[in-house]
Chain A
Amino acid sequence: MPLSLINWRQVWVLYRRELRGALRERSIVVNSFLLPVFLYPVLLWLTFSAMVFVEGLSEGRVSRIVLLDLPAEHAELRDSLSAAQSVEVREDTVSVEQGVAWVLDGELDAVAEFLAPGPEAEALPDNFAVRISYDRAEERSRRASDRIESAVTGYRDRWLEREARDLRVSREQLEGFLIYRNNVATERQVGAFLLSLMVPLFVVIMVALGCFVPSIDTTAGERERSTWETLMSVSASRMSVVTSKYLYVATLGLAAGMLNVTAMVISIGAVLRPLAGELAEELQFRIPLLAVPVLLIGALALALFFAAAMMLLASFARKFKDGQAMITPVYWLALIPVFLSGTPELHLTPTLATVPIANVAVMMRDAINGRFDWLLIGESLLVQMVFVVLILWLARAVLRFEDYLLGSFDGSFWRFARQRLLARRSSDALPVE
C-alpha cells in the first residue's frame, strides 16, 4: 500500500520547505496571492465604469411603454408622454400580465397601469394611482420607469394646481396621488446574478493560476536548479516527497481561490458601494450563507484537480520554460467548458455534473443564486474526485520509471504514455517506494 510508505513527519518537513521557498519567489506570490486579491477591485471598477458608460448610451434610447386603463380625464398625460422624443407609447391593449411578460422578454421597457386611488385621496374625484412595472436588472427598463415617473409627476403638479384652484382647497389636502413602483426582478436576484456570472469563472481561473507556477517550480524547476538529485538522495520515500509536493501545490491553488472569493466580498462593499451611489441600493451583492461552504469545497476540489494534472504534465520538463509550454495548452483546454457553461440559463443537471471543472463552476453559480441540489452537488464533487484519483494513479504509474525519476527521459507526458505506459514494457518499471 502506497500510503504506508508515507512518513508524515517527513512530509511536513518537505511541505514547509516548499512553502517557505514559494513565499520567497516573486512569480508565485504574484500569481497565487496578489492577483487573486486585487483582481476583483480592478475588475469591479472596470465593470462599474462600463455600467456608467452603458447607462449614458441608454439615455439616448427610446423607451417603449404601454399605458393601461388611463382615465379619459387624463388623456393629456398620454399626449405629453407621446410628445417626448425619448418615449414611444405603444397603442397595444394588453393585460398587465402580458405587459410584464413583454418587459421581461425585452419587447417592452415598462408598463404604466392606472388604478383607483387609495382611500386617503378619495376626496378628489378623478384622482388616480399609477403602478409602473419594470425590470430593475435592465438599464433600459429602469430608464423607462424613470421617464414615466417624471412625466407623471410633472403632469400631477399641473393637474393638482388646477384642481386645487377649482375646488378652493389647499394642495396638501389633495396629496395622495400615488405612484407605485413594481420591480419585476427581486433586488437580490440582480446582484446575485452578476456575482454568479463572475465568481465561478474567476475562482476556476484563480485556482488554476494559483497552481500554475508552483506545479512547474516544484517539478521542472527543481530539475533545472539541480536540486532534484539532492532531494532524491534524502531518506524520505518517493511517496513522501511527491505527497508533500502535491499538498503544497494544492494549498497554493486553494489559497488563490479562497483569497479570490474573500477579495470579492470585501471589494464589493468597499469599492462598488461608494462608487455606485444610488445604484448600489438597487444591486444587493449578497450571497446566501449556505453558498460559502459550497464555494470552499468547490475551490478545494478544483485545487486538488489542477495540482495533480499540472504536476504530472510539468514533471516531464527539465526546464521551467518547457514546463510552462507543456501545461499552458491543457490549462486553456480545461477552461473551455467553464466558459461554455457561463450561459446563465444553464443549471446543474445529472449530465452536466459528469463534466469535470464545468460541473464545479456551475455548482458554485447555482449556490450563489440560492439553488442547492445536494444530490447533484454530491455527484459533481464525486466526479471531480474520480478524476483526481485517476490522475494520481497515473502519477504513481509514471513514478515507477527510473528515467522519468532521473529526468533522462526526453519528451512530454503524452510521449511517455505512448511509449511506456501503453507499451507495457513492465521490466522497465520499479516497485513503488
Chain B
Amino acid sequence: MTEPTVAVRGLAKTFYDEARGEVRAVDGIDFDCRPGEIFGLLGANGAGKTTTLRMLATILRPTAGVARLMGRDVVEEPVAARRTLGFYSATTALYPRLTARETLEFFARVNLYPEEKVDARVDYLVGRFGIAEYVGARVEKLSTGMKQKVSIARTVAHDPPILIFDEPTVGLDVINALEMARVIRELRDEGKTIIFSTHIMSEAEKLCDRIAIIHNGKILASDTLDALRVATGRHYLEDIFVDYVGGVEEMPGFIRESGSAAE
C-alpha cells in the first residue's frame, strides 16, 4: 500500500462558547488517506466535519492531536501544509471583481506555482474545466454553474496533491451536483488524495472509496462500503449509518434524501 498523504492522530478541537460552555466539536479522531482515493466524512449537521477539515486546512488550531499533510505538520508548518492542499467549501467564495482568468492566475501565483508555468497551467485549467467561453468575464457576472467550475479550477490551480471538499454540493441543483461528483472522481483517477464531506447518504455511497461515519466529534466507523456491510450485516448505507449512530430521531439536522437540495 502507498504511504498515507494525510495522517490524523487523536485530533481534537474544543470551542469555548459563551452560551453552551465548552463544546467538544472534534473529540479525538484518527484516519489516514492515500493518493487515488476519495475518503468520505459522513455525518449529520454539527457532527464535526467542517471543524475537522478546517484543522487540516490550518484555519483552526487543534486542541490536541496531530495532523500531517504530505508529512507537514499542520501546527508546526502551516504555510507548507497549506501549499499541498486545495480547500473547497460553500464558504470559500471567489473574488467577484476578478475575471475567471485573473482568478486562476491569482490562486496559482499566491500558492507559489512556478511563475514561468503559470500561463500554461491556466490555459490547461481553462480547457479542462470548460471555462474558455467566459474566461474574460468578471466572476460576479457568472451563473452558479459557471462559478462552480471556476471555483474547482482555482482549488486545483497550484496542482496540490491533496484536495478537501467540505459539503461541496450544498445549495447546488441536481445537474451541478452530478457534475461536481464527476469532477471529483476524475481528480481521484489522476492520483489526488481527496477528502470529501457530506451529510447525504447516496452521495457518500456512490462517490467514496472509504467512508468514515462521524458523530458528535467521534469517528464511529471507518472503512470501505463493503467492509461496513460485512461488519453490520446491512446493505444500505442509510441502515449502516443508523446502526452506528443509534437512531435518526436523535439527529435533528439529519437529512436522508440526496439531490433535493437542502437549501
Chain A minimum-CB-distance residue to B107: A234
B93:A235 contact, CB within 8 angstroms: no
CB B89 to nearest CB in A, in angstroms, measures: 7
Q: Which of B64-114 contact A (CB under 8 A)?
A: 78-80, 82-83, 85, 87, 89, 91-98, 102, 106-107, 109-112
The answer for the CA separation of A56 and B59 in the assembled complex, in Å, is: 68
Interchain pairs with CB closer than 8 A, number: 75
The answer for the CA separation of A433 and B60 in the assembled complex, in Å, is: 13
B92:A234 contact, CB within 8 angstroms: no
With A20-B97, A402-B61, A430-B61 in contact, is A235–B112 under 8 Å at CB?
yes
A234:B111 contact, CB within 8 angstroms: yes
State whether the Cβ of B57 lies closer than 8 Å to any Cβ in chain A: yes
B97:A24 contact, CB within 8 angstroms: yes
Binding-face segment, A221-229, A303-311, A343-351: A221-229
Chain B minimum-CB-distance residue to A237: B79
B111:A226 contact, CB within 8 angstroms: no
The answer for the CA separation of A406 and B55 in the assembled complex, in Å, is: 12
State whether the Cβ of A161 lies closer than 8 Å to any Cβ in chain B: no
B82:A234 contact, CB within 8 angstroms: yes
Most buried by B among A10, A233, A406: A233
With A21-B97, A25-B97, A226-B93 in contact, is A233–B79 under 8 Å at CB?
no
Residues of A within 8 A of B102 (CB): 20
Most buried by B among A7, A17, A430: A17
Residues of A within 8 A of B95 (CB): 17, 21, 225, 227
Residues of B within 8 A of A236 (CB): 79, 110
Chain B minimum-CB-distance residue to A230: B92
Residues of B within 8 A of A406 (CB): 59-60
B111:A235 contact, CB within 8 angstroms: yes
Q: Which of B45-60 contact A (CB under 8 A)?
A: 57-60
Most buried by B among A14, A229, A235, A405: A235
Residues of A within 8 A of B94 (CB): 227, 230
Q: Mark B226-250, 1 if CB is under 8 A from A, else 0.
A: 0000000000000000000000000
Residues of A within 8 A of B110 (CB): 10, 13-14, 17, 234-236
Q: Which of A62-103 contact B (CB under 8 A)?
A: none
Please pick, from B60, B87, B96, B111, the residue contacting A402 in the complex, using a CB distance under 8 A: B60
CB B233 to nearest CB in A, in angstroms, measures: 41
A229:B82 contact, CB within 8 angstroms: no
State whether the Cβ of A232 lies closer than 8 Å to any Cβ in chain B: yes
Q: Which of A1-38 contact B (CB under 8 A)?
A: 7, 9-10, 13-14, 17, 20-21, 24-25
B109:A13 contact, CB within 8 angstroms: yes
Residues of A within 8 A of B98 (CB): 17, 20-21
Residues of A within 8 A of B58 (CB): 233
With A226-B92, A229-B89 in contact, is A433–B97 under 8 Å at CB?
no
Chain A minimum-CB-distance residue to B93: A226
A225:B79 contact, CB within 8 angstroms: no
A229:B59 contact, CB within 8 angstroms: yes
The answer for the CA separation of A9 and B92 in the assembled complex, in Å, is: 23
State the 7 A-B residue pairs at the shortest beta-carbon distance, nearest first. Answer: A235-B83, A226-B93, A233-B87, A235-B82, A230-B92, A21-B97, A24-B97
Residues of A within 8 A of B (CB): 7, 9-10, 13-14, 17, 20-21, 24-25, 225-227, 229-230, 232-237, 402, 405-406, 430, 433
* 13 cross-chain CB contacts under 8 A: A10-B112, A13-B109, A13-B110, A21-B98, A226-B92, A229-B89, A232-B59, A233-B87, A234-B82, A235-B80, A235-B82, A405-B59, A433-B79
